[in-house]
C-alpha cells in the first residue's frame, strides 16, 4: 500500500469516528471541538454534593481522598490534569475504603450533574444519537485503558457511563413530553358568567 493511500485511509477513519451516523464518536482532549466537552477535564463548573467544582474531574477526584487535608491538596492543583495526576498518585491508606467498588457510581453521578446542569452540554450529548462514545487515549497505561481505549483496547468506562447518562436524559425527555402532551389534551374548565372578566 502506498503511503498516500495509508494517509487517505487514516483521514477517512478519523472522519468516520467523528461522525455520529458512523456509529462511533471518539474524544480525548478537552479542547477538541465539539466532543472535547465529553472529557472530564473540560472546563465547566458543576455543583456536586453541595460544592462547586471547576470541572467534572475535580468533582470526581474529590471523593477519592480519605482525609480532608489530602482532598484539599489534590484540588489545589492548578489544572484538571494535575488534579487527576495527584489523585492517581495517592497511597492506598490515603484513599477512601472500597474506592474501587464505588468509583464508577461516583463518576456516573458526576456526569449526571454535568449534563443536567448545562443545557448546551446536554444537547450535545443527546445529539450523538446511538453512537458509541469512546475516550480514545493516546498513551497505553492502566488508567487510559480503564476509562477509555488505547488502539481499540480497554474498558472505556467513561464512554460507557456517558452512554448510560445519555439514555437517562433521553428517557427523561420522553417522560416530560408525555406529561406535557397529557396536560395540553386536558380541556379547559368552562367559564361561568360570574368568572368572566368585566368588559
Report the b/e string of 56-87 with b at 16+ CB within 10 A.
Answer: bbbbbbbbbbeeeebbeebbebeebeebbebb
> In the predicted model, is pLDDT for residue 174 greater than 50?
yes
What is the residue-wise DSSP string for 28-90? --TTSTTGGGGSTTSEEEEEETTEEEEEHHHHHHTTTBSSHHHHHHHHTSSSHHHHHHHHHT-
Going by C-alpha positions, the residue among 59, 71, 160 that lies closest to residue 110 is 59
> In the predicted model, is pLDDT for residue 182 greater than 90?
no
Please give the pLDDT value at position 175: 74
Query: What structural domains and CATH numbers belong to the chain?
Result: 19-133+140-175 (1.10.357.40)
Tell me the β-bridge partners of 24.
132
How would residue 137 be classed by pLDDT, with cut points 50, 70 and 90? Answer: very high
R_g over Cα of the chain: 22
> In the predicted model, is pLDDT for residue 21 greater than 90?
no
What grid cell was written down for 20?
A: 455520529
How would residue 51 be classed by pLDDT, with cut points 50, 70 and 90? Answer: very high
Please give the pLDDT value at position 195: 41
How would residue 55 be classed by pLDDT, with cut points 50, 70 and 90? Answer: very high
How would residue 106 be classed by pLDDT, with cut points 50, 70 and 90? Answer: very high
Within 13 Å, how many C-alpha atoms sit on residue 79's CB side?
6
How would residue 184 be classed by pLDDT, with cut points 50, 70 and 90? Answer: low
Please give the pLDDT value at position 4: 42
Mean pLDDT of the chain: 85
- Using CA atoms of 54, 56, 58, 64 in order, give the dihedral in degrees to the nearest 10: 160
Start-to-end C-alpha separation, the chain: 85
Pick the range with the lowest mean pLDDT from 4-8, 60-64, 123-127, 189-193.
4-8
* CA separation for the pair 199, 197 (Å, rounded): 6
**Which residue do the cell numbers 498513551 mark?**
139
- Looking at the chain, the whole-number percentage of residues with pLDDT higher than 90 is 75
Q: What are phi and psi of 47, to 5 degrees?
A: -100, 125
Taking residues 146-165, what's their average pLDDT? 97
Amino acid at each position: 500500500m502506498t503511503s498516500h493511500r495509508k494517509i487517505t485511509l487514516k483521514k477517512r477513519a478519523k472522519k468516520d469516528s467523528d461522525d455520529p451516523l458512523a456509529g462511533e464518536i471518539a474524544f480525548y482532549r478537552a479542547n477538541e471541538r465539539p466532543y472535547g466537552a465529553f472529557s472530564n477535564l473540560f472546563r465547566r463548573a458543576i455543583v456536586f454534593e453541595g460544592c462547586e467544582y471547576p470541572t467534572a474531574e475535580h468533582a470526581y477526584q474529590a471523593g477519592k481522598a480519605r482525609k480532608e487535608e489530602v482532598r484539599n491538596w489534590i484540588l489545589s492543583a492548578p489544572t484538571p490534569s494535575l488534579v487527576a495526576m495527584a489523585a492517581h498518585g495517592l497511597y492506598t491508606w490515603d484513599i477512601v475504603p472500597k474506592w474501587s467498588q464505588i468509583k464508577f457510581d461516583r463518576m456516573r453521578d458526576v456526569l449526571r450533574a454535568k449534563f443536567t446542569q448545562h443545557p448546551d452540554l446536554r444537547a450535545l450529548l443527546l445529539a450523538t444519537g446511538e453512537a458509541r462514545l469512546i475516550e480514545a487515549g493516546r498513551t497505553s497505561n492502566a488508567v487510559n485503558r480503564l476509562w477509555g481505549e488505547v488502539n481499540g483496547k480497554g474498558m472505556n468506562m467513561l464512554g460507557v457511563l456517558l452512554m448510560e447518562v445519555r439514555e437517562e436524559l433521553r428517557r427523561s425527555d420522553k417522560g416530560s413530553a408525555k406529561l406535557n402532551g397529557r396536560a395540553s389534551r386536558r380541556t379547559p374548565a368552562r367559564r361561568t358568567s360570574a368568572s368572566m372578566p368585566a368588559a
